[in-house]
């Protein structure tokens, strides 16, 4: 099965730089949920080059600028799942850029510390 993140269609690219691109997640957690993806096929964040990691970070900043202008979220979650046990479903590294809105949960708190069910934050 071909990698769904390799060879993106130009119309799917929201923002990009020389080494990475961002596209909307097809199963968004919230409006504006983007995936930030290196063009080079590499499975793990830990196998990316220094240049790719810097390009990912710069593109996350660009995603924020674009999202702030369009959607005005109240916060963000940014995360990378590495390995199947951590929830990585596509073995092409990608960072989740998830805008958060006050109405998301009905309560404050949570965040990435609460990704494991039944564990205190």
Q: What is the pLDDT of residue 114?
A: 59
Q: Provide CB contacts within 8 A for 38, sequence distance 6+.
A: 19, 20, 48, 52, 55, 56, 92, 93
pLDDT tens, position by position, 19-61: 999 999 999 999 999 999 999 999 999 999 999 999 999 999 9
Question: Could you confirm whether 94 is annotated as catalytic?
Answer: yes
Tokens of 23: 């596209």
Question: 59-117 pLDDT, tens per residue?
Answer: 999 999 999 999 999 999 999 999 999 999 999 999 999 999 988 765 555 666 555 56
Task: Name which of 100, 104, 90 is nearest 32 in CA terms.
Answer: 100
Nearest to 4 by CA among 90, 115, 121: 90
Choose the catalytic residue: 72, 94, 96, 118. Answer: 94
């Amino acid at each position: 099965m071909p990698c769904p993140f390799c060879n993106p269609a130009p119309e799917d690219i929201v923002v990009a730089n020389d080494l990475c691109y961002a596209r909307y997640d097809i199963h968004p957690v919230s409006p504006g949920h983007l995936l930030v993806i290196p063009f080079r096929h590499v499975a793990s964040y830990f196998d990316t080059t220094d240049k790719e990691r810097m390009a990912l970070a710069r593109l996350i900043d660009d995603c924020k600028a674009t999202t702030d202008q369009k959607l005005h979220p109240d916060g963000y979650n940014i995360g990378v799942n590495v390995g199947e046990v951590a929830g990585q479903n596509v073995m092409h590294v990608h960072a989740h850029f998830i805008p958060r809105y006050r109405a998301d949960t009905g309560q404050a708190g949570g965040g990435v510390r609460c990704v494991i069910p039944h564990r205190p934050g």
